[in-house]
Structure 1
Amino acid sequence: MQKKTIITGTGSYIPSEIVSNRDFTVHNFYAEDHKRIETAPQEVVDKFQQITGIAERRYAPSHLNSSDIATIAAQAAIEDSGIDPETLDQIIVAHNFGNVIKHTIQTDAVPSLASRVKHNLKIRNPYCVGYDVLFGCPGWVQGMIQADAFFKAGVAKKALVIGTETLSRVIDKYDRDSMIFSDGAGATVIEYKESDGSGILSSSAVSHCTDEAYYIQLGQSNFPGSDPRIRYIKMKGRKVYEYAIKHVAEAMKECMDKAGIDIHDLKKVFIHQANEKMDEGIIKVLYKLYNITTVPKDIMPMSIQWLGNSSVATVPTLYDLTLKGKVNGHRLEKGDIILFASVGAGMNINAICYRM
């Protein structure tokens, strides 16, 4: 039997605070030029939901930071796997802004979130190494790719990979794009062990950093007269959409081709929950690359409608929910071929082909 990287436990944290689209209808929105958008807020919100599919999102309570919710998801994954956390070789935490204390805009990543998670888990083993990954929304997938590489290099056998974010604390409430973002955490325990075929089959990652590098960045509030020293997450929505539609499916196909997987054998795609219409468009392009015009209706579980876009947390959270029967109409069975894929700031894209 051949050794492979196998997911042996999953966990996630779904914040308790529900923010519906109705909560944004009392906002005044402003454009990048700091001019007020004259369209009625209700109309802005309705159009937003039509495009993104988002009806509500979750925000973390004020007493919990990114490292705290990462720990909750990690504890669930460790319990699910049944491992002794002292046997972990690596703790990899993907995020973008570190800890951001509620009602502030200052990010804190010293010490690293991985160090904080290890501390919270009370792991004493000094050979359990924790480090962070900054790779935009594809950070959790990239953490999985890195751990798999360490396993194959013979320097680790067991890892905890987490995606965590509290984007609600870095959004500009005057910007329409602020309605996309949310909070959450997802985690997986992975082990390098003898496999009957299950495990990571292949991976793919690309970065486009010329004109695309600043499609998502930090910038001044859209509100006129705002303090230019205070910066919020900003996104060129149309540019991101066009980029993703053009490039993500290509990376997904490359990943599947590396593994020698026939598109007809693909059971599910766990794609970054960025925008419902964009994700649907990416899947259509993927199948078109294989000269297939009809996409299977049950190929793509979605959580964006009620969880919003929690960046690095979307893919592991969606996978955990699906595994545990919490996504209607979607089930996973032993031997199923699935694809993890993501796109985000950088701009970065990655994918993993995995057999259950």
Structure 2
Amino acid sequence: MAYSRILGTGSYLPPTVLSNAMLAERIDTSDEWIVSRTGIRARHIADEQETTSDLACKAAQAALADAGVAADEIDLIVVATTTPDMVFPSTACLLQEKLGVHGCAAFDVQAVCAGFMYALITANNYIKSGMAKKALVVGAEVMSRILDWQDRRTCVLFGDGAGAVVLGESDEPGILHAKLAADGRYKDILNTPAQIADGKIQGMPYLHMDGPAVFKFAVKALSDIAEKTLGEAGMSKDQVDWLVPHQANLRIIESTAKHLGLPMERVVVTLPEQGNTSAASIPLALDVAVRDGRIQRGQTVMLEGIGGGFAWGAVLLTF
């Protein structure tokens, strides 16, 4: 049986930085209010001309370079995004064109903040089944375009960015085990319910979130799925070298780390400088920790996150 493992990582953040102090000039908030509730100090915002596929392309090029893989060697592209360039074609097809490659399978996955894990496991299964040998997996978002910038409960939380990995065929397991879940009963506590009909936007086009309800659900769901993933993999908590969580809220991250018995020194946290970049947050954080030398080859890493749907999951891998 073929296995897959990560060959390279890459990321991209738009150059424009929006600090809490800058936000406080627009709305009734403060750096202290935001940091004390979320841990966020700043976020990156895409320029008007930048699209999700633009961000994805820059992250993908960085990952390809890191892996030493040419774009035309890729035979599968999966993009996780909640903020596609357009209704169709998919952001993955647009990314494929920007990379200058043609013919390989390319499609989007929509599981909001859990999207990268859904995309990664989809690509892993393609490789394990022999349907692909090298896959490009990207999480990319321009969350700033679906925010109500007068709503301080939500606009302070999110940012834009993209992260990518190149996944390749291997004789030894790289992705050790994964567990994905979803429950549509919780659709109303985190959503953007608008749709296009008859040439008009129908429904609210801004992100809506019931913060306390999301927090309560996320803490329990992430703790449970981490434990189940380790149990099904036949591994113990002390075998995890690094936790790379979705960057949504510092208190959620700390709760997950505590449940796993991991000190925060072994948790990758990019939240203060990047905010919540939805499907991009896990690959962004992974790339940061790989490039600064914290995550080393052969170490065991757990990716974990949760988002609207609700959709959530955990991926255990050897880097």
TM-score by length of 2: 0.93
Q: Give the match's secondary structure for 2:207.
A: strand
Q: Is 2:140 the counterpart of 1:154?
A: no
Map 1:1-356; keep pairs closer than 5 Å.
Answer: 3-28=2-27, 41-42=29-30, 45-99=31-85, 108-124=86-102, 126=103, 128-176=104-152, 177-195=154-172, 199-210=174-185, 212-218=186-192, 231-287=205-261, 295-325=262-292, 331-356=294-319
Deviation (angstroms), 1:230:
5.1
Q: Percent identity?
A: 29
Q: Residue 197 of structure 2 aligns with which residue?
A: none
How far apart, in 2, do the equivalents of 1:308 and 1:297 lie? 18
How far apart, in 2, do the equivalents of 1:145 and 1:319 lie? 16
Tell me if the contact between 1:245 and 1:285 (Cα under 8 Å) persists in the aligned partners. no
Tell me if the contact between 2:34 and 2:41 (Cα under 8 Å) persists in the aligned partners. no
Q: For residue 255 of structure 2, what is the amino acid of its counterpart?
A: G
How far apart, in 1, do the equivalents of 2:202 and 2:122 lie? 37
Tell me if the contact between 1:302 and 1:318 (Cα under 8 Å) persists in the aligned partners. yes
Q: For residue 355 of structure 1, what is the amino acid of its counterpart?
A: T
Q: For residue 128 of structure 2, what is the amino acid of its counterpart?
A: K
Structure 1: segments with no counterpart, 5+ residues: 30-40, 100-107, 221-226, 288-294
What CA RMSD, in Å, does the superposition of the two structures yield over aligned residues?
1.7
Moved more, 238-247 or 250-259: 250-259
Q: For residue 8 of structure 2, what is the amino acid of its counterpart?
A: G
Deviation (angstroms), 1:229:
5.1
Tell me if the contact between 1:70 and 1:163 (Cα under 8 Å) persists in the aligned partners. yes
**Equivalent residue pairs, number:** 312
C-alpha deviations, 1:167-211, integer Å up to 9, x for none? 11110011111100000000000012223xx5000000111221x
Structure 2: segments with no counterpart, 5+ residues: 195-200
Deviation (angstroms), 1:282:
2.1
How far apart, in 1, do the equivalents of 2:308 and 2:137 lie? 20
Q: For residue 282 of structure 2, what is the amino acid of its counterpart?
A: V
How far apart, in 2, do the equivalents of 1:47 and 1:59 lie? 21
Deviation (angstroms), 1:87:
2.2
Greater helix share, structure number = 2
C-alpha deviations, 1:300-331, integer Å up to 9, x for none? 11000011111111100111111110xxxx71
Q: Give the match's secondary structure for 1:231.
A: coil
How far apart, in 2, do the equivalents of 1:86 and 1:333 lie? 27
Q: Residue 198 of structure 2 aligns with which residue?
A: none
CA pair 229-202 structure 1, distance change in 2 beyond 3 A: closer
Q: For residue 73 of structure 1, what is the amino acid of its counterpart?
A: A
Tell me if the contact between 2:11 and 2:162 (Cα under 8 Å) persists in the aligned partners. yes
TM-score by length of 1: 0.84
Tell me if the contact between 2:2 and 2:130 (Cα under 8 Å) persists in the aligned partners. no
Q: Give the match's secondary structure for 1:201.
A: strand
Deviation (angstroms), 1:228:
7.9
Deviation (angstroms), 1:296:
2.1
How far apart, in 2, do the equivalents of 1:320 and 1:7 lie? 11
Q: For residue 341 of structure 1, what is the amino acid of its counterpart?
A: E
